[in-house]
Amino acid sequence: MDTTAVYRSTRSRIAELVRAAPAGAAETPVPACPGWTTKDVLAHLAGVCEDIVAGRMEGVATEPWTQAQVDRFAAATLTDVIATWERAATEVEALLGSGGAPAQLVFDEVTHEHDLRGALGCPGARDSDAVVVGTRFAVRGLGAAFSGAGLAPVRVRFEDGDETVAGTGEPGATLTVDRFDLLRSASGRRTRDQIAALDWGGADPAPWLPAFTYGPFTLPESPVE
């Protein structure tokens, strides 16, 4: 899959979504990103591309790194932020060349696409190529978290028939799940109870639940969507 094309098409979809939103949407709170508005989420996406081009990668994915991106656009309009993202993303795509966009970049982008869709009440694109790329990255992240915690791997079966294993070794459970639900569960957008309520094939999910807070993610106390 051409991940650069996936990143580009997702960016276009997000821009269209936000441009079509009602007046004042820039200040709409995004429940999946506490403390951020629609504009702040776009500022982060634009800022990531700016930072890649400028080589500002120290502290990547940490809260200070992402907050600095939001702060840079504090006085900008939503239109300005989108224009900056489009310009910086084109530079990033040129830098990446034939190597393609990293799966992590697509994962972050598609995660925030659905954050915005939730905030603006515009669900959709849940079966996009970006969701496929994002879930592949999520499975790798979860697998590393399971292994790091000394847990058995989890076999992941998607509704489209695809099957993979998060972790290395003999799976201790089988999780049958919709790709979109896995994407949201593996990006801190589902509560512990929501993740536990997924189809774990009769296994007790409790041992694996703490690992869903891998990387920068925490689990919300109450549903955000």
How many independent structural domains does the chain possess?
2
What are the helix (H) ranges across 34-190?
Answer: 38-54, 63-72, 78-96, 103-120, 129-148, 179-185
Do residues 79 and 145 both lie within one domain? no
What is the C-alpha to C-alpha distance for residues 175 and 156, in angstroms, rounded to an integer?
5
Tens of pLDDT, residue by residue, the chain (225 residues): 899 999 999 999 999 999 999 999 999 999 999 999 999 999 999 999 999 999 999 999 899 999 999 999 999 999 999 999 999 999 999 988 878 899 999 999 999 999 999 999 999 999 999 999 999 999 999 999 999 999 999 999 999 899 999 999 999 999 999 999 999 999 999 999 999 999 999 999 999 999 999 999 999 999 998
Reading the block at residue 8, the tokens are 């580009």
| Residue 33 and residue 89 in one domain | yes
Same domain, residue pair 98 and 135: no
Q: 144 with 208, same domain?
A: yes
Same domain, 22 and 95: yes
Q: Which residues pair with 174 in a beta bridge?
A: 155
Q: Are residues 154 and 203 in the same domain?
A: yes
Instruction: Give the containing element (helix H, strand E) for 194.
Output: helix 192-196
* Full-model pTM: 0.96
The closest alpha carbon to 112, from 158, 48, 57, belongs to 48
- 63: exposed, middle or buried (Cβ count in 10 Å: 0-12, 13-18, 19+): exposed
Which pLDDT does position 143 carry in this prediction? 98
**Residue 113, domain member (yes or no):** no
Same domain, 170 and 96: no
pLDDT of 84: 98
- Do 20 and 69 share a structural domain? yes
Q: Does any domain span residue 33?
A: yes
76 and 35 in a single domain? The answer is yes
Give residue 205's domain range.
129-213
Instruction: Indicate which CATH number applies to the domain containing 164.
Output: 3.30.1050.40
pLDDT value of position 120 = 97
Q: Within a 10 A sphere around the Cβ of 155, how many other Cβ atoms? A: 18
Q: Same domain, yes or no, for 83 and 18? A: yes
- Residue 223, domain member (yes or no): no
Do 78 and 18 form a contact (C-beta atoms < 8 A)?
Answer: yes
**Final residue in a domain of this structure, among 54, 85, 102:** 102
User: For residue 111, is it within any domain?
Assistant: no
Measured distance CA(130)–CA(155) in Å, rounded: 21
Decide if 122 is inside a domain. no
Indicate whether 7 and 97 sit together in one domain.
yes
Position 218 in a domain: no
Looking at the fold, whether 8 and 88 belong to one and the same domain comes out as: yes
4 and 101 Cβ atoms separated by less than 8 Å:
yes
Whether 107 is covered by a domain: the verdict is no
Q: Alpha-carbon dihedral of residues 216, 221, 103, 63, nearest 10 degrees? A: -30
Instruction: Read off the amino acid at residue 4.
Output: T
